[in-house]
Amino acid sequence: MLKRYDLIMAVYVTRHGFAFALFEGALAPLDWGIIRRGEPNKNRRCIKAAKALIERCRPDCIVLQDTSWTGTRRSQRTTALNAAFFELADDNDIPVCAFTQERVHATFVTMGQITKHAIAEAIAKRIPAFERYVPPRRRPWMSEDDRMGLFDAAALALTFFREAGESRHKVG
């Protein structure tokens, strides 16, 4: 049986910075946000922001995307920043759980959701506080909306709760 955590912080690296979602249960978000940091030294500025966030929130576990060579392929900058988040958690003695994009999608396929937008809508339906953040459907000529990172972070957290067997709040 997996250890039960009180405060889970899911962090998802985006092209402009990172998004986070802090949960105390599968359907109980406490805080969330999108941290945008520009050049120069985007990663260093993101790490500084993440460190302040961890010190303020003191999570019991951090959930990240698995960007290892066997995990989800991301850009070199994203992979480096994600690795820095692993180190930051380790420096603060916070356990880390990482999921590949495939494992996250598997969580939502069981609910009939397969696209990122459908997953965002499913999360917003289950967590009404997120409804106003659902971006419009992405068209082929559009860049991904930064708000989608919030749903990627929430999806990581919900995958954690599903795999941990969270019994107080069912995800599916």
What's the pLDDT score for residue 4? 53
What is the C-alpha separation between 80 and 63, in angstroms, rounded?
16
How many structural domains compose the chain? Answer: 1
State the pLDDT at residue 170.
Answer: 41
Higher pLDDT, 171 or 52: 52
Res. 70: pLDDT tops 80: no
Q: What is the pLDDT of residue 119?
A: 94
Sequence-separated (6 or more) residues with CB below 8 Å from residue 156? 10, 11, 12, 21, 63, 64, 65, 99, 104
Assess if residue 150 is contained within a domain.
yes
Structure tokens at 168: 């107080």
The CATH number of the domain holding residue 77 is: 3.30.420.10
145 in any annotated domain: yes
State which residues form the domain around 111.
Answer: 8-164
pLDDT at 5: 61
